[in-house]
Amino acid sequence: MTVRAISQIGERGVWQRRAACRGPESVLFFAPTLPEARPERESREERAKAICRECPVQRECLDYAVRIREAHGIWGGLNETERRMLWDPSAQYTETEFAETEFAEG
């Protein structure tokens, strides 16, 4: 295990223990293994984001996910596409991808 991995584990242990996503509703934060229809995904993600909005460590969670470029799940109240826009604002996204983000108007 690298020094970086050890420091991330130690760091994760501090704020993740206080995260509101811990427990039975943690399944909301990641897509199921089977295909998920868009309305179901949107509903699941909105429920997860509502939990994030009440979380005492939302900022730490988002900072961590952006720093390590976490590619899956809801972290700090943002999904994968929304986080990609933070770490690579020059990236080009399809209209569908952008429309699925909270950054889109409407």
Q: Give pLDDT, residue 3.
A: 40
Does 86 fall in a domain? yes
- When divided into structural domains, the chain yields a total of 1
State the 10-residue block means of pLDDT for the chain, 106 residues long: 44 81 92 94 97 96 92 95 82 52 44
**What range defines the domain where residue 46 resides?**
3-99
> How crowded is residue 54: how many other Cβ atoms within 10 Å of its Cβ?
8
Q: Give the CA distances from residue 69 to residues 34, 62, 76, 85, in Å, rounded to whole numbers and listed in that order.
A: 24, 10, 13, 11
Does the residue 105 lie in any domain? Answer: no
Give the global pTM.
0.72
Say if 106 falls within a structural domain: no
Structure tokens at 6: 């050890």
pLDDT in the model for residue 104: 43
For residue 104, the 8-state DSSP code is S
CA–CA distance, 66 with 43 (Å, rounded to integer): 23
